[in-house]
Amino acid sequence: MIKWWLLALWQVVMAFEPSNEWQVVPEGESIPKGLEVKMDLESGQRLARFADKQAPGPAPVALAKPTPNSEVGRPILDLEQLEELAHDFDHGQQFMEQYGAHLIEEYESGLGKRDHAGKVLGVAVRNNPNAASALLSQDPELTLRLAQNFQAQDIYILANLATAHYDQVKPALVKAQSQLSSKPLSRDISKQVVRLVRDIGHTDKPAIEDWAGAIQQALQRTGDDMDGVRLDLLRVLTEIVEKKGEFEGTNTEVSRDFVSWLADQAVRASSSSGVKGRSDNENNPTYEFLQLVKQVRHRVYGNPKAARLHMDL
Is 0.85 surpassed by the pTM of this model? no
Residue 175 pLDDT: 97
Residue 14 lies in a domain: no
CB atoms within 10 A of CB 105: 14
Residue 9 lies in a domain: no
Residue 268 lies in a domain: yes
The total domain count for the chain is 1
Residue 39 lies in a domain: no
Q: What gap in Å lies between CA 79 and CA 82, rounded to an integer?
A: 5
CB atoms within 10 A of CB 111: 12
Q: Which residues are within 8 A (CB) of 236 and not within 5 positions of it... i.e. 6 or more apart?
A: 193, 194, 197, 198, 215
Residue 300 lies in a domain: yes
Report percent pLDDT > 90 for the chain. 50
DSSP 3-state of 83: helix
Q: Which domain does 256 fall in, by range? A: 185-313
Residue 279 lies in a domain: yes
Which pLDDT tens digit goes with each residue over 78-112?
Answer: 445 555 666 555 667 877 888 788 889 989 987 77
Which pLDDT tens digit goes with each residue over 220-270?
Answer: 999 999 999 999 999 999 999 999 989 998 888 899 999 999 999 999 998
Confidence of residue 212 (pLDDT cuts 50, 70, 90): very high
Q: Which residues are within 8 A (CB) of 152 and not within 5 positions of it... i.e. 6 or more apart?
A: 186, 188, 189, 191, 192
Q: Classify each residue of 208-230 as buried b or exposed e, where b means 16 or more C-beta atoms within 10 Å of its C-beta.
A: bebbbbbbbbbbbebeeebbbbb
Residue 19 pLDDT: 83
Residue 252 lies in a domain: yes
Top mean pLDDT of 28-32, 42-46, 295-299 is at: 295-299
Residue 44 lies in a domain: no
